[in-house]
Amino acid sequence: MHILFITDPLGSFKTYKDSTFAMMREAQKRGHSISACESQNLYWKRGSQVSGLTLHIRLTQNQSAWFEVLNQSQQLLASFDAVIMRKDPPFDPEFFYATHLLAQAEREGAKVFNKPAALREHPEKLAILEFPELIGPTLVTRNADDIRHFHAEHHDIILKPLDGMGGTGIFRVKDDGLNLGSIIETLNKDGMETVMVQKFLPEIEKGDKRILIIAGKPVPFCLARIPQNGEVRGNLAVGGKGVAQSLSKRDYEIANQLGPVLSARGLLLIGLDVIGDSVTEINVTSPTCFQEITDQTGCDVAALFVTALEQAVQIAQD
């Protein structure tokens, strides 16, 4: 196969932990060709089809120069055997527009994973609203008074923007309510932006678990991202410690309930965030933690993904 990855700039990759790099490495190992394109370089014009300025690359063994460019050209997305959308959040207007261009490419014959419509319909913070039985107390609002009432009810809360990633913009307000007003103003920008508020889950001390679901089936190990040095956030990007562990009975219950439903909507890869018994986010844009789980357990997550991709492409061709 010739696989096109829609990615952030290749030069920004931290290859020792990057899941897209792990996918590419496994694909090349199997003999597949690899190209990359940034979403800003997608293009459509009447009378033609969606194309992108693509880099046909080969991975090297050199950590400092981990790829070489074989050629650069404008290519139709439909000419590739598979297109993998791996652009990191934020889910901003440009990401939204990119999904529409990818949807047009699908109509032209491209096979895109995860499906663009499914990406649009499952924003990572808000996708949990469909499954209230699996989440803790949660509020989504622009209204400052609603947030204050939620705090008065639950006493210890987490506030976060809807378009963040890697733990950015997340605040905890305890029972004393210290700085609640200032935090609300910072996040909702005087009522102009919507905020998610959740009851603080003390189980975070045991880790914010990333559970990966591939083609509807859970990877048997998750990565518990454990807060360090007084932090409330377990995200690896802010210094959390990643500890791989086997899925618990509850983890399997959650994954087996959500996996088939979301897979049927065109989400080949999903990253659930679970604290204790509660789902806090459903990540669909560029779920990570492949390499951390593989390094610690020997479970080759990238191999599981590429196998699922090969099967999905074969099904799409039949």
Query: Which of 233, 235, 251, 292 is the catalytic position?
Result: 233
Question: Can you list the alpha helix ranges (DSSP code H) found in 128-201?
Answer: 144-154, 180-188
What does the pLDDT profile of the chain (318 residues) look like in tens digits? 999 999 999 999 999 999 999 999 999 999 999 999 999 999 999 999 999 999 999 999 998 899 999 999 999 999 999 999 999 988 888 999 999 999 999 999 999 999 999 999 999 899 999 999 999 999 999 999 999 999 999 999 999 998 877 677 899 999 999 999 999 999 999 899 999 999 999 999 999 999 999 999 999 999 999 988 777 777 777 778 999 999 999 999 999 999 999 999 999 999 999 999 999 999 999 999 999 999 999 999 999 999 999 999 999 887
Query: Do the Cβ atoms of 301 and 293 come closer than 8 Å?
Result: yes
Cα angle 125, 276, 127 (rounded to 5 degrees) comes to 20
Q: Is 71 a catalytic residue?
A: no
Cα four-point dihedral sign 191, 164, 203, 256 = positive
Query: Which of 106, 210, 235, 292 is the catalytic position?
Result: 210
The beta-strand segments (E) located in 200-285 are 208-214, 217-218, 221-226, 241-246, 269-275, 278-283
Q: Is 273 a catalytic residue?
A: yes
What is the DSSP secondary structure assignment for residue 190, as one 8-state letter? T
- Of 123, 114, 106, the C-alpha closest to 44 is 106
Q: Is 233 a catalytic residue?
A: yes
Q: Is 283 a catalytic residue?
A: yes
In whole angstroms, give the CA distance from residue 119 to residue 102: 11
- Using DSSP's 3-state secondary structure scheme, residue 130 falls into helix
Q: Is 125 a catalytic residue?
A: yes
Q: Is 225 a catalytic residue?
A: yes
Query: Which of 225, 235, 251, 292 is the catalytic position?
Result: 225
